[in-house]
Amino acid sequence: MKIQKKKKSASFVLPLLFIASVCGICTTIHYLSDENAKYAIMAEIKVASNVMQMKEKVASNVLQKSHVYERPQECTTDQLEQIKRHLLPDDCTKYKKSPWLQRCSFTIATKCIRATWLTNYYKDLEGITAKSPEHFVGISVGCNKGGDALDTLRMGTSNDKFDKRAWHDAMQSDGAELAQMNCAHEANIEEQYSTDPAHTHSGEMHCIEPFPPNYNRLKDSAEKLGIDQEGFVVVNAAISKKGGVTIFPTGADQKVGVENLSMSNCATGTEKKIEEHKCQEVDGFTLETYVEKYVKSKGPIHVLSIDVEGYDFDVMIGGKTSVLDRVQYLEFEYNWMGSWAKQNLSDTLQMLDEHSFTCYWAGDDALYRISGCWQEYYNINHWANVACVHRTQYQLAKNMEEIFLRTLSKDHKW
């Protein structure tokens, strides 16, 4: 007697359809006598797979610039008073005419940035983007000793080839003397971003430095370590509002990494200073023309850091047409020197708000929101550090706002 195999009933096929559509990872149909049912299930699997791909695409878009979120709510009266209790206005007003003494509260509070909000964000991001990590792009305008730029690229790529100790040794090789670092965590060569080899991916960091002694040492160190082949790009250039050739101090007899030298040092008696080799021509760009020439990626610029001794707002103005809208995270220095002497922080914040940035005074694991929490004495020009997040970056913005609220809950008086 011949035994016939029974066809699978519809009641059996439907649960399989449901399992296939929910699972989304099933790739093999072992046996179904009903060919139509088999193709139906395969179609369901294909749909489920497409749904998963769509979810991944949506997640990728969220990480990029797909949606601009609302501004944080403006500070309440109580929050404004608490900020003022932390950042006392008295010395900012008292030392208005001698800002170089650095007695203003928001100068003291932001003297050393330890951007835990950013490093924690990138550590969390490693798990989210493990399958398809984004090519990291960072730009440091005024790279100086290069340590911050190196740390940023290490963070953005999770690549331990960007090593703080090795960099420190290379920068001091051949007996070169570096200018003193002002912050303890910067000088601590053991403190750096914890990398994960499983999440290492590509990236590029543009270390832009106009000061010749700094540039020469940066370039030499990058080549010695071979990191110039890994995405650490050192360029001798000055970034300004209008671009073009810039006259910059030669830095004769200056230590590597010295700060407070800028194009303003060559603004008067220029020809004589060039003849005496105290100043020289340096290639100049706006942020727009630099990015167009040197940054190959057309995607987001993940971190933009600006430290140009008084010309930070000029750099931003030179990038407002197309570059700023690509930036996810921005740091810059507020100052009393250079162009800042005739510029207001309130105007800077207004322009950045128009480009969807929320900005904070940035210190050591501490933030005070400036956007929506304005205090009039902030327009008194003193040196300080500011950190801004583009409002497309939901999780990073959330991190920063939480640290701001946590900072307010503490009993600080700067």
Of residues 48 and 389, the one with the higher pLDDT is 389
What 3 state SS string does 164-233 have?
HHHHHHHHCHHHCCECCCCCHHHHCCCCCCCCCHHHCCCEEEEEECCCHHHHHHHHHHHHHHCHHHCCEE
Q: What is the pLDDT of residues 222-278, one digit of tens each?
A: 999 999 999 999 999 999 999 888 888 887 666 676 666 777 788 888 888 888 888
pLDDT over 50 at 383, yes or no: yes
Structure confidence at residue 258 (pLDDT): 64
pLDDT over 60 at 15, yes or no: no
Structure confidence at residue 131 (pLDDT): 59
Q: What is the pLDDT of residues 334-344, one digit of tens each?
A: 999 999 999 99
Q: What is the pTM of this model?
A: 0.82
Q: What is the pLDDT of residues 269-321, one digit of tens each?
A: 888 888 888 888 899 999 999 999 999 899 999 999 999 989 999 999 999 99
Structure confidence at residue 141 (pLDDT): 98
Structure confidence at residue 296 (pLDDT): 87
pLDDT over 70 at 18, yes or no: no
Residue 293 in tokens: 């020439």
Nearest CA to 393 among 304, 318, 315? 304
Structure confidence at residue 47 (pLDDT): 35
- Looking at residue 114, the DSSP 8-state letter turns out to be B
Structure confidence at residue 24 (pLDDT): 37
Q: What is the pLDDT of residues 344-380, one digit of tens each?
A: 999 999 999 999 999 999 999 999 999 999 999 999 9
Residue 274 in tokens: 């060039």
Q: How many helices (H) and strands (E) in the chain? A: 15, 12
Q: What is the mean pLDDT of residues 94-110?
A: 97
Domain ranges (residues) in the chain: 10-62, 74-134+340-414, 135-299
Structure confidence at residue 223 (pLDDT): 97
- Looking at residue 367, the DSSP 8-state letter turns out to be E
Q: How many CB atoms lie within 10 A of CB 262?
A: 23
